[in-house]
């Protein structure tokens, strides 16, 4: 006799044989046709040219007001545009409008995997640029953007409601960053370096 006896056979509920579960990736909400940062040209990583941008979204108070931050990698020239929401259609318009004046110096755009950047293909088409996505949880791959966001946070703390401020307020903040001399730029300002290479048609 087995240890414990045979009484287990009298139980009303028998142990059911469990099927092995097949785990499938949940693709709901994923951004389609993403191109990995690993396919981005090496010249972007090495900052060999002007016109490669990193972009992100920062939040204001109560998680219901936002701003798009953009920075050009070689010059560290920065832009910021407030947004009433983070819907993909809204964000695409903000990005296109912000970069359109500098279209001749927009070769690539790199962002994280936030759903607000779901319309990346339309953005790339309008700006005649290539669009890349950093790997998940790899903010260091957009290190300049992360650093620039920290500079913005000196003026835009998380408790601040962006909706209380007009467009000129954000323009003024960007101007302060762009007119700050940087050691990596030979103590020139981002604005000086960027505009020296910006030759619009």
Give the pLDDT confidence score for residue 23 in this predicted structure.
43
134 pLDDT more than 50: yes
Give the pLDDT confidence score for residue 29 in this predicted structure.
55
Question: How big is the CA angle at 75 (ends 69 and 80), to the nearest 5 degrees?
Answer: 15
pLDDT tier at 26, thresholds 50, 70, 90: very low
Calculate mean pLDDT across residues 24-34. 66
147 pLDDT more than 50: yes
Q: Taking the domains of the chain in order of start, what are their residue ranges?
A: 37-197
More reliable by pLDDT, 182 or 138: 182
Calculate mean pLDDT across residues 173-201. 94
**CATH 3.90.245.10 fits domain 37-197:** no
pLDDT tens digits, 71-109? 999 999 999 999 999 999 999 999 999 999 999 999 999
5 pLDDT more than 90: no
Q: Are strands 52-59 and 66-72 parallel, antiparallel or unpaired?
A: antiparallel
Closest CA to 31 of 100, 130, 133: 133
């Amino acid at each position: 006799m087995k240890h414990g006896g045979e009484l287990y056979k009298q139980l009303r509920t028998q142990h059911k044989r469990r099927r092995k579960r097949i785990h499938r990736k949940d693709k709901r909400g994923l951004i389609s046709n993403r191109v990995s940062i690993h396919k981005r040209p090496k010249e972007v990583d090495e900052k060999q040219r002007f016109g490669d941008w990193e972009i992100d979204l920062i939040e204001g108070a109560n998680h219901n007001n936002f701003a798009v931050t953009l920075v050009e990698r070689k010059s560290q020239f920065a832009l910021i545009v407030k947004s009433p929401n983070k819907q993909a259609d809204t964000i695409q318009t903000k990005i296109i409008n912000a970069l359109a004046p500098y279209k001749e110096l927009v070769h690539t755009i790199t962002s994280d995997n936030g759903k607000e950047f779901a319309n990346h293909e339309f953005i790339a088409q309008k700006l005649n640029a290539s669009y890349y996505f950093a790997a998940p949880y790899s903010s260091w791959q957009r290190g300049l953007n992360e650093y620039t966001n920290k500079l913005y946070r000196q003026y835009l703390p998380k408790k601040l409601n962006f909706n209380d401020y007009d467009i000129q307020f954000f323009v003024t903040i960007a101007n302060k960053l762009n007119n700050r001399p940087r050691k990596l730029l030979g103590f020139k300002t981002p604005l000086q370096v960027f505009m020296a290479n910006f030759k619009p048609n």
